[in-house]
Amino acid sequence: NYLRADGVTPLSPRPLAYQILPTDPPTMQPMTSGRGETNMLKKILRENELVLLGEHHDQGIDQELALRLVRELRGLHYNLALGLEMVQLQFQPALDRYISREVADLAAADEDLRRSTEWDDRWPFPFENYLPLFHWARQARVPLVAANTDSEAQLKVQLSGFEGLRGAERQRYVPDVLGFLNYTNQPGFKMYADRVIRRSFEYHNETGVLGPSPDPNLFFAARVLWDETMANAATKWLEEHPRHKMVLLAGSDHVKYGYGIQARAERLGTDYYNLRRRDGKFRVASVLLNPTAEESYSYIRRLRLGLGQGARKSYSRFLADYIWFSTSPRVNLLTRMLNPRDAPYDIPEFNPIPSRPRLDEGWNNGPTIY
């Protein structure tokens, strides 16, 4: 049998799905095609209320892979919603209208959605890339949830910092002000800001999109507002719909290394909205789609799986919890790969490896080599 379970997709000579394990140094645990991948999706849903899919907005293969994964996740858990970084909060009524089929004709509904979300003015990537996702959600009646900061508020912060947001407007994006402020003092976040947000500023500055003499502090303020808004949009919606789980589709830069959306959603879900599971925590999984060595900040062709070294390892987070490729990855991209399994490891039972670090957890087993 040289085809996957769908009878169409060829089996990959190297696995497509990987779990990152907290060994020292971290390792990649590949899943066998078919059974192993399905068991990994089951584990992700069983252990988490929110699943982050980190995509590349300009790569159509990422949206195709996202559709495949969301469709499979919906098959495992009917009450599933799809959150969208691409749509700003103010346009939630447009998404509701689209899913409710208020406009019956599909082509007319697509055009209404594009116009009503002001897609061409507010999101610089092709609307057509996301249409298969929207069509599937409409057909399956899967709720679509707007997750991004409104441009008007984002511009105020870019020009004036957080002082530009006041009262109800600030509450709309940052309801947990104290938690939001304390979060930036976490040692792990400070490392993340230096390694991830600073590099993002440098990249955008080099492209010229920030204009002449941009202020890195204002860029930082706008970036963390963006992440906080998406984390809050997801957790707030889940509080209002307790029987649902959510997949949030967002840029890989907001998902990788944990301190963008993931840890913020864990904080909000656990401490602010009190969406605690039996273990006392709100769990969030991160899945990177088609990651590259360059975006992992690796100095070689292989993926870098963590940022911290030495003492910093105690509060470092992984590149992601899971990685998924559309096609067989290059062998020199894979880092410390183990033999394929039919099911992912249950980390708490995988001795002597400790559980992956959260905001207040870590391990201290000496330096890690990356």
Strands in the chain per DSSP E: 17-21, 27-30, 50-55, 80-88, 144-148, 245-251, 284-289, 322-324
Give the pLDDT mean for 170-198. Answer: 92
- Asked whether residue 369 carries a pLDDT value surpassing 60, the answer given is no
pTM of the model as a whole:
0.89
pLDDT for res 186? 86
Give the model's confidence band at 177: pLDDT under 50 very low, under 70 low, under 90 confident, else very high: very high
pLDDT for res 355? 39
Return d(Cα 149, Cα 123) in angstroms, integer: 12
Per-residue pLDDT of 32-62, as tens digits, reads: 888 999 999 999 999 999 999 999 999 999 9
Return the percentage of the chain with pLDDT > 90, whole number. 71
Residue 84, phi then psi, degrees to nearest 5: -130, 115
pLDDT for res 139? 97
Give the model's confidence band at 269: pLDDT under 50 very low, under 70 low, under 90 confident, else very high: very high
Write down the mean pLDDT value for the chain: 88
Give the pLDDT mean for 277-296. Answer: 93
Return d(Cα 189, Cα 184) in angstroms, integer: 6
Return d(Cα 90, Cα 119) in angstroms, integer: 12
Per-residue pLDDT of 322-348, as tens digits, reads: 999 999 999 899 999 888 889 888 865
- Asked whether residue 277 carries a pLDDT value surpassing 90, the answer given is no
Give the pLDDT mean for 192-216. Answer: 86
Residue reference for tokens 């409104």: 150
Give the model's confidence band at 349: pLDDT under 50 very low, under 70 low, under 90 confident, else very high: very low
Per-residue pLDDT of 98-109, as tens digits, reads: 999 999 999 999
175 SS3 class:
coil
Residue reference for tokens 């969030």: 284
- Asked whether residue 112 carries a pLDDT value surpassing 60, the answer given is yes
Give the pLDDT mean for 262-266. Answer: 97
Residue 360, phi then psi, degrees to nearest 5: -120, 20
- Asked whether residue 225 carries a pLDDT value surpassing 90, the answer given is yes
